Amino acid sequence: MALIPEIDKRKTKMNARKVLAQYRKWERIAGKSSIDIKSPLISDMPRTLGVSVNKSQDGFVERVDAEINRDAILRALAALSWRSRQILSMTYCEPEKASVYEIGLNMGYSEIRIKELRGIALIEFSEAYKNGQLLSYE
């Protein structure tokens, strides 16, 4: 019996990919201008159960949540080595997703080496994201 449980690398990488894949969405939502969030509709009509009238509050909550999630990803990326940060940023955070070939060309590595380094970077990201929240153990 091991004192420290083994990390399930496959599940951990999958968890990291799921979080990083949401980055562009969070960036779009967090980047919404406050003007885009409309004021509530004032009406003398009775309210219907289950229908939210205050869309501005919903939009504001969604925007704040997006900023929190985006910033958590950025903090975790900042904790990584330059190489890992570069690979994950080019793959998940740039407006246009870079292919393995493009990343390899940019960094001077082969495609196979980029795939290996990306796997290592995903594990590092999982450890750094919200104090290891993405780690999965066997």
Domains of the chain: 9-31+57-130 (1.10.10)
Q: What 3-state class would DSSP assign to 68?
A: helix
Nearest alpha carbon to residue 20 among 124, 127, 93: 93
The answer to whether the predicted template modeling score (pTM) of the entire model surpasses 0.85 is: no
The radius of gyration of the chain's CA atoms, rounded to the nearest angstrom, is: 20
Question: Position of tokens 């869309």?
Answer: 55
pLDDT of residue 53: 55
Structure tokens at 77: 């990326």
What does residue 124 show for φ and ψ, rounded to 5 degrees?
Answer: -60, -45
Q: Does pLDDT of 124 surpass 80?
A: yes
Q: Name beta bridge partners: 137.
A: 7
If pLDDT is split at 50, 70 and 90, which confidence band does 16 have? very high
